[in-house]
Amino acid sequence: MKKCFGVLVAFAMMVAICGCGSVRRATAMKDCNYKFKSIGNISFMGKGQSAAMGILGVLTGFVPEEMPLDFTLYLNVENPNDSRAAVESLEYSVDVDGVEFAKGKTDTDFSVDGNSTAVLALPISTDIRRIMNTEHRKAMANVVRNMIGVKADNVSSVRVKIKPSVRIKRSTIKSPVFIPITFEYGGSKKQ
């Protein structure tokens, strides 16, 4: 009986230590430096990058019922700590020029070793029509121009907020706060 109790206590301590490590690695994400890297895998209305002409049509007044825009936002994540930063999932939101652009979640594990940099890929999906039918139409047209490489009037101010989560046993523990990331995109600014 004592032997069984001892094994149970050792197992409980091991689970607690592993759980604390997961929380520690997720907490380390807040200490990382985040920088815009690129945007890729652009698909507009179900078409790849070649949909640029369709986008231009939309910008000149043609507004179909739905206008799905999907792309991947790539961020360089630099970990200044000696230990690894890692998460099992992320919730995120993207605001462009003060307008909510998209919200999402990825369940893909992400980690960056201590004193190194890794690329975080966030899959973004939104319906441009939802935004184009508001008073923010000009700002969103500017964003779309920036994305497809057509010189836009202005640089777009982008704010990404990420909320890391870890899984311990069968429970998901979310960060109580979002980590803010800001950068400018497009216009005459070189990326």
Give a yes or no: residue 190 inside a domain. no
User: Within a domain: residue 158?
Assistant: yes
Quick one: pLDDT band at residue 2, thresholds 50, 70, 90?
very low
Find the domain containing 103 and state its range.
2-185
142 found inside a domain:
yes
Helix (H) or strand (E) holding 40: strand 33-44
Would you say residue 110 has pLDDT above 50? Answer: yes
Q: Averaged over 16-24, what is the pLDDT?
A: 56
Least Cα distance to 84 among 147, 32, 151, 149 occurs for 32
pLDDT band at 1 (very low <50, low <70, confident <90, very high): very low
Domain membership flag for residue 53: yes
Residue 127 lies in a domain: yes
Which CATH number fits the domain that encloses residue 116? 2.60.40
User: What pLDDT was estimated at residue 52?
Assistant: 54
Tokens of 146: 């920036």
Phi first, then psi, for residue 129 (nearest 5°) are: -60, -40
Question: How far is residue 181's CA from residue 151's CA, in Å, rounded to a whole number?
Answer: 24
| Total number of domains constituting the chain | 1
What's the pLDDT band for 106 if we cut at 50, 70, 90? very high
The mean per-residue pLDDT over the stretch 154-182 comes to 86
User: Which among 92, 76, 93, 81 has a CA at the least distance from the CA of 35?
Assistant: 76
Q: What angle do CA 150, 66, 61 make, to 5 degrees?
A: 50
- CB neighbours of 70 closer than 8 A, spacing ≥ 6? 41, 42, 43, 44, 123, 124, 125
Nearest CA to 127 among 144, 142, 151, 152? 144
Q: For the whole model, what pTM was predicted? A: 0.75
* CB-CB contact of 73 with 101 (8 Å): no
Write b or e for each residue in 68-98: b if 16 or more Cβ atoms lie within 10 A of its Cβ, otherwise e.
Answer: ebebebebbbebeeeeebbbbbbbbebbbbe
Provide the pLDDT for residue 3.
41
CA 122, CA 70: separation in Å to the nearest integer?
A: 11
pLDDT value of position 76 = 97
Q: Write the pLDDT tens digit of every residue in 125-145.
A: 988 777 766 677 777 777 777
Instruction: Give CA–CA dist 106/91, Å, rounded.
Output: 7
Question: What is the β-pairing status of strands 33-44 and 68-79?
Answer: antiparallel
191 occurs within a structural domain:
no
